Amino acid sequence: MAPNSNGRWAAAIRRLGICCTGFGAAWLTKVGRSLLCGRVEADEAIIGGPVKGKTGRGVTQDEKNTLIFGAVEVIVYTDKQGDCMEKAGRLRLAVTQRADAVSIRNFLTAQVQPGSEIYTDGWKGYSKTALADYRHVLHPPEIHALHIHRAYGNLKTWLNGTHHGVDPKYLQNYLDEFVFRFNRRKTPMAAFQTLLGLAAHKIPVGYEKMTLRESTG
């Protein structure tokens, strides 16, 4: 069930005789995670479709579109040929109402260890106030936050392909499931072990609390 990539956990959980109203991703919400560290790419994305007469962040005024924050670690390593390479590490995603400095600061404080390098595209929300505890680095124009954009592309494909779109009020839960899967993509059985650990050692959380929509700003 946990390593299954189709994202339909609820049916699998019910087949095991476990009551599961809603969807299986709710099991993974509201659990503690360690902070990202080192080199981190941060950016925003809009989840939803186009809106007539609106462009950019203006499309979030439509009730079917949602603004989200994302941050992903960038791991630098040397391949077998001795070349310096990069790959995406752990990911964090969160729904937000705004992309202003306060909201960005709240997101980074909750997800990234102070002192880390934050790579951004220079959006005005990434101000000195928002990044007071971090080292701010602007992406070279030709790179365009490669790793976080790939993560967003995979997220949108997963939401539209597997789930055929999701209700905005439940989006954070789906983001949590995607992050859980993304961070264990190289070790699928680790997802199963983590799921068992959460079930065995975490304090139970009621369904009503798990399905509350959260925001970083």
- CATH number of 192's domain: 3.30.420.10
Residue 144 has a pLDDT of 66
Order of all β-strands in the sheet with 39-47: 84-96, 66-78, 39-47, 117-120, 135-138
- 171-182 vs 146-161: helix axis angle to the nearest 10? 120
Tell me whether residue 18 is in a domain.
Answer: yes
Residue 41 has a pLDDT of 96
Tell me whether residue 1 is in a domain.
Answer: no
Residue 69: beta bridge partners? 44, 94
The stretches in the chain having pLDDT less than 70 are 1-32, 49-62, 144-145, 188, 190-195, 197-199, 201-202, 210-217
Domain count, the chain: 1
Best CA proximity match to 44, nearest among 217, 193, 204, 170: 217
Tell me whether residue 145 is in a domain.
Answer: yes
Tell me whether residue 216 is in a domain.
Answer: no
Per residue in 18-42, pLDDT (tens digit) is 444 344 444 454 455 799 999 999 9
Structural domain for 76, as ranges = 9-210
pTM for the model: 0.74
